Amino acid sequence: MHRGILFRLHAIRFWRRFVITRQVLLSLVCSASKTLAMIALLYLIVTITVLVSAADPLDTFGSGAQGTTRASEALQVTVSASPSTVFAGYTAVGTVNLNASAPAGGVNVTLTSSDTSVFTVPASVTILAGQKSATFTITARAVSSQSQRVITATYGTSSASFFTVKPILLDGVGFDQSWGFASHTATGTVKLNALAPAGGINVTLTSSDTSVVTVPAAVTVLTGQKSATFTSTTGSVTSQSSSTITAIYGISKSTSFTVQPISVILIKVDPPRVIAGYTATGTVFLNTTAPAGGFTVTPASAKPSTAMVPASVIVPAGSNLGTFTITTSSVPSQSPSTITATPGVAASKPITVLPILVRHFEVNPLTVFAGGTATGTVIINNPAPAGGFNVTVTSSIPAVASVPAFVTIPAGSSSASFTIKAGSVTNVSQNTIKVATPGNSDSRPFTVKPPVP
């Protein structure tokens, strides 16, 4: 029998006794019997005291079934969660407790969530016979903002407990440094405000200008981690450019990344003064290492007829320098030029091409008889370059003294000889033998005598 029914029965008994006692008291007062009136008043007080004591709604009218009802009503359930606040995707342990041990057969406690979009609980949990408590799993769902809802446990009576779910949100996105070079890669990092739950979390990535920086569509923060890295690739820009990288999970976070173009920052020429026909080595230095596939530099010469350079030079991948050959040609006099390289600003170096000159010329002998020969020897101021060096030879009267059109000085040598052939003459004939380079010349007289009669 429920406590409400018990209480009402006691109230009816109390009221009936009170009415009877009041009527006796009034009749005695009306009869003017003071002694009997005092006795009746005392009786009324005692009756009220007894009835009030008997009116305890937890009291029973006897034993047997009524006693059993009271024992059943005494079981009370409470519910709690540990922890009472978790991040979305995580779980907590719920506990239901009885104020006494569960009877034979156990106790089945009903569970409800006030909002299953925030967290879920099983439909019920059983407290085994002889036990006072049992646990169950609370699963937090994905939420966009912190949400507090109620867990309710019911067994006869109900108990409620608050449970809070906090959203897992993006905490930031960034790079080790906020800039990089064109055609390279940079490592970015996304961070969460909590450890990623089972299954991880996918963070969406975008770039405001994919010609400047490209990023993967998403990066996964693995279970139990708060951050993850991703690789971005910079574009082949020709001027400083920027792009905004945005990461999205729940909320968005952004950072700016600047890309600097690859350029030539220095050029060297070795040697800076070179003999005509020889070569020099040009070296270009970049502001960073060349990307995969190398980097193309375009050299140029202010006087390509004097100092020639190739159309391009490739700086190998992973290196910041490349070399090329400067080829010089014959010049009549000292000839300065400038070697430049692009892309870059003011990357240039001077080069001077030195002429090859005749330093000495001799003819031996200087006089011969008609039909005889002499030897001409020419010496230049520097060793001849690869392929040799040609010195022009002329005779003022070829019929008197014939010479070859030129004499070649072998590579690495500074001199060469040639033959002068005397022609047929009837009188002593004066002639001049001349040798010349683009820069200078030298000559010697040569006499041919008629044969002795």
CB neighbour list of residue 38: distance below 8 Å, 6 or more residues apart: none
**Per-residue pLDDT reduced to its tens digit, 379-418:** 999 999 999 999 999 999 999 999 999 999 999 999 999 9
| Predicted pLDDT of residue 70 | 44
In this prediction, residue 3 has a pLDDT band, given cuts at 50, 70 and 90, of very low
Min mean pLDDT across 35-44, 219-228, 369-378 is at: 35-44
DSSP assignment of 113-155 equals: ES-TTTEE--SEEEEPTT-SEEEEEEEEPP-SS-EEEEEEEEE
Q: Are strands 348-354 and 273-275 parallel, antiparallel or unpaired?
A: parallel
354-381 as b/e: b if 16+ CB within 10 A: bbbbbeebebeeeebebeeebebebbbb
Residue 60 has pLDDT above 70, yes or no: no
Q: What global pTM score does this model have?
A: 0.68
Look at residues 44, 13, 47, 46 and name the one whose alpha carbon lies nearest to residue 29.
Answer: 44
In this prediction, residue 74 has a pLDDT band, given cuts at 50, 70 and 90, of low
Q: Are strands 179-181 and 251-260 parallel, antiparallel or unpaired?
A: parallel
Average pLDDT, the chain: 87
- 334 vs 272: CA distance, rounded Å: 13
| Predicted pLDDT of residue 42 | 46
In this prediction, residue 338 has a pLDDT band, given cuts at 50, 70 and 90, of very high
Q: Work out the percent of the chain whose per-residue pLDDT is above 90.
A: 81
Look at residues 300, 302, 294 and name the one whose alpha carbon lies nearest to residue 342.
Answer: 300
Q: Select the more confidently predicted residue: 62 or 38.
A: 38
Q: Work out the percent of the chain whose per-residue pLDDT is above 70.
A: 84
What mean pLDDT comes out for the span 98-115? Answer: 96
| Predicted pLDDT of residue 345 | 77
